[in-house]
Structure 1
Amino acid sequence: MTELRNLITDVAGLRVGNAHDPDLGSGVTVALFDEPAVASYCVMGGAPGTRDTDLLEPDKVVPGVNAIVLSGGSAFGLDAAGGVQAYLREKGVGFAVGSALVPLVPQAITFDLLNGGNKEWGRYPPYRELGYEAARAAGEDFALGTSGGGYGATTVNLKGGLGSASAVTGSGHVVGALVIVNALASAVIGEGPHFWAGGFEEGKEFGGLGLPERITPEMRRLDWKGRNRESKPPISTTIALVATDAVLTKAQAKRLAVVAHDGLARALRFAHALYDGDTIFAAGTGRKPLADEAGDLIEIGALAADCLTRAIARGIYEATALPFPGAQPAWKDRWGRR
């Protein structure tokens, strides 16, 4: 096996592209599949925004999807999938219905409308074009942090961002995660700099700090966007894709999406709240069969959650602050590169 990039694109059969607008303070990230991928999803937040997710349920007829979109822009950002469809249609990619070809592109969005960027876009929002550009840019390497759909992401106390990580199971299946960290709460313990994900870190992928010697009650004190009445409305979303090169059924992909939510719960204090839109897609690119169906699936799910935990911390660690008045500091602004 070639050396891993520690990105979701280590999973054979998918590529990722980013596009963003610095003045807008928002962007789009797209995962394109080389062949239709078996996929499902699970929403555990109270305020989700999605497109074409019903077709991912195991009892629905669609066998696979062509792309997954993770975007900023709240409901306006749902236009991004149309841009990705336009790109795929130009390439002759889609689900054949008679003589018609329909690219299947489920999507989830984050709320980043109050981050200081210029959202006065006129009659139509720019996300369709950003979706097209993100699809056109798709490749094996892509930027993390303040990039793509993570460009305008925030948390309660630090700049959010785009994160990714990968791992390999004992039977050789590759697993990866891709996430926009736009959390209601915090990815760091107390006032920082340690990440809640510190116990899962590989090498120094997000600073190498590990965990503090002791986590005190004060470090566990709850805080979230909007807790102070003078602060902005408490609307947020962390959205993700976990993927594997395994051959999966839609029911197995559904289970994988459910299990992957453990990654959010471990990396954030806290997740799955009323104003979180926490949504996770799960996909199998079908390159490697399951040898031990139950055992392989259990390990893939466990590592997918681990990858998501690590990806969340990487998204925060790699972020840079937005150039707007009152913008949140980045992790490296406060604690430097470790």
Structure 2
Amino acid sequence: MQPGPRNLITDVPGLRVGHAEDHRIKTGASVLVGDRPFVAAVHVMGGAPGTRETDLLAPDKTVQEVDALVLSGGSAFGLDAASGVADWLRRQGRGFAVGDQLVPIVPGAIVFDLINGGDKDWGENPYKRLGSEAVAAAGDSFALGTAGAGTGAIIADLKGGLGSASVVLPSGHTVGALVVVNALGQVTVGDGPQFWAAPFEMADEFGGLGPAPSFDPSQPLRHKGGPGEATTIAIIATDALLTQAQATRMATAAHDGMARAIYPSHTPMDGDLVFAAATGARPLDNPVWDALHLGHAAALCLSRAIARGVYEARPAEGDPFPTWASRFR
């Protein structure tokens, strides 16, 4: 396996990503949108999720495809970003047809970034605007780190961020990840610069430092804040032809990658979840074994994307924590 040409989730053909940010508030939104509707699923393992329309993604529900997926800051306020995306898509003639009406299907998830040094004294919820701006800006290339929904992200001891990575399998299928890293725990080992995801790094994409020389598991856990102040949310995408049930299994497998890259992960205070997206452009030759390799690739990509999100973070005035680069370079 090797990264795709951009090492981004948009290496999956037919998918685009857009960001919008408000650096005064220290927040933003990110949107994954397809050239056409795509199969989507979700799996939640954190204890404090914040979501929109995720019940619709169960395999037994009527609607099997969505128009876009939204990741946003803002805690519950940020769920309104999906409304801005839905309005924009409707203006483009996109949506699920119900009689003479089009209803864009736009599931979303949020992270808590309300206590990160930004000015949250807004008069009107800004997230609908941010969602509309993000989808309008969607393209093949996009920024990592302090961008989009990762703009205000923080983790236990560093500034968090938005990450992405991709891989091309020997079967020819492409898998990519997009993630907002706002975890309760750490992504680096102890007091050192090495990432927990180091064994899975490709082409020095987050510094090429290799694994930490040692780790003492008896040390107390290092984490930030209190209840409700965390969450890592992600999208795993592929060009494979998957049912909604198969996409759910891929999202489930991807959580292994989160656990490999964040210490600890899936806590009662994190709302950790993974969306899956499948464009259906490339059939499976062997549904059982190909599904196994897709799940493995999803976990691999998510680990790498988490490290890249923190590695690429940039400093800004009022940040409560340093970036990885400012602490270790």
Q: So what's the TM-score if we normalise by structure 2?
A: 0.97
**Superposed CA offset, 1:283-319 (max 9, x none):** 1011100011111111011001100000000000000
Using the TM superposition, give the Cα deviation of residue 216 of structure 1 relative to its aligned residue in structure 2, in angstroms: 2.9
What's the secondary structure of 2:32's corresponding residue? strand
Using the TM superposition, give the Cα deviation of residue 234 of structure 1 relative to its aligned residue in structure 2, in angstroms: 5.5
| CA distance in 1: counterparts of 2:158 and 2:144, whole angstroms | 15
Using the TM superposition, give the Cα deviation of residue 320 of structure 1 relative to its aligned residue in structure 2, in angstroms: 1.2
| CA distance in 2: counterparts of 1:30 and 1:249, whole angstroms | 22
- Counterpart check, 1:255 vs 2:256: no
| CA distance in 2: counterparts of 1:54 and 1:6, whole angstroms | 31
Going from structure 1 to structure 2, the CA distance change for 1:3 and 1:79 (only over 3 Å counts) comes to: closer
Which residue in 1 is equivalent to 2:31?
A: 30
| CA distance in 2: counterparts of 1:328 and 1:321, whole angstroms | 9
Using the TM superposition, give the Cα deviation of residue 217 of structure 1 relative to its aligned residue in structure 2, in angstroms: 3.5
Which residue in 1 is equivalent to 2:107?
A: 106
**Superposed CA offset, 1:257-277 (max 9, x none):** 111100110000011111000
Alpha-carbon contact 2:149-2:180 (below 8 Å) kept? yes
Opposite residue 304 of structure 2, the aligned amino acid is R
| CA distance in 2: counterparts of 1:22 and 1:198, whole angstroms | 30
- Which runs of structure 2 are paired with 1:1-338 in the superposition (5 Å)? 4-122=5-123, 124-217=124-217, 221-226=220-225, 235-324=229-318, 327-336=320-329
Using the TM superposition, give the Cα deviation of residue 35 of structure 1 relative to its aligned residue in structure 2, in angstroms: 1.2
| CA distance in 2: counterparts of 1:331 and 1:142, whole angstroms | 20
| CA distance in 1: counterparts of 2:12 and 2:67, whole angstroms | 15
Of stretches 205-214 and 138-147 in structure 1, the one that deviates more from structure 2 is 205-214
Alpha-carbon contact 1:109-1:239 (below 8 Å) kept? yes
Alpha-carbon contact 1:25-1:322 (below 8 Å) kept? no
| CA distance in 1: counterparts of 2:165 and 2:64, whole angstroms | 27
Alpha-carbon contact 1:50-1:106 (below 8 Å) kept? yes
Using the TM superposition, give the Cα deviation of residue 3 of structure 1 relative to its aligned residue in structure 2, in angstroms: 5.8
| CA distance in 1: counterparts of 2:213 and 2:50, whole angstroms | 39
Using the TM superposition, give the Cα deviation of residue 214 of structure 1 relative to its aligned residue in structure 2, in angstroms: 2.5
Going from structure 1 to structure 2, the CA distance change for 1:74 and 1:2 (only over 3 Å counts) comes to: closer
Opposite residue 254 of structure 2, the aligned amino acid is A
| CA distance in 2: counterparts of 1:322 and 1:75, whole angstroms | 24
| CA distance in 1: counterparts of 2:236 and 2:66, whole angstroms | 14
**Number of paired residues?**
328
Using the TM superposition, give the Cα deviation of residue 170 of structure 1 relative to its aligned residue in structure 2, in angstroms: 1.4
Alpha-carbon contact 2:32-2:69 (below 8 Å) kept? yes
Going from structure 1 to structure 2, the CA distance change for 1:159 and 1:136 (only over 3 Å counts) comes to: same
**Superposed CA offset, 1:146-186 (max 9, x none):** 00000000001000000000001110100000000000000
| CA distance in 1: counterparts of 2:295 and 2:23, whole angstroms | 36
**Superposed CA offset, 1:195-232 (max 9, x none):** 000000001100000102322346x5411113xxxxx6
Opposite residue 65 of structure 2, the aligned amino acid is G
Gapped regions of structure 1 (runs ≥ 5): 227-231
Going from structure 1 to structure 2, the CA distance change for 1:171 and 1:75 (only over 3 Å counts) comes to: same
What's the secondary structure of 1:238's corresponding residue? strand
Alpha-carbon contact 1:321-1:327 (below 8 Å) kept? no
Gapped regions of structure 2 (runs ≥ 5): none
Going from structure 1 to structure 2, the CA distance change for 1:276 and 1:233 (only over 3 Å counts) comes to: closer
| CA distance in 1: counterparts of 2:36 and 2:280, whole angstroms | 9
Going from structure 1 to structure 2, the CA distance change for 1:209 and 1:2 (only over 3 Å counts) comes to: closer
| CA distance in 2: counterparts of 1:217 and 1:137, whole angstroms | 44
What's the secondary structure of 2:35's corresponding residue? strand
Which residue in 2 is equivalent to 1:229?
A: none
| CA distance in 2: counterparts of 1:75 and 1:59, whole angstroms | 27
Using the TM superposition, give the Cα deviation of residue 322 of structure 1 relative to its aligned residue in structure 2, in angstroms: 3.0
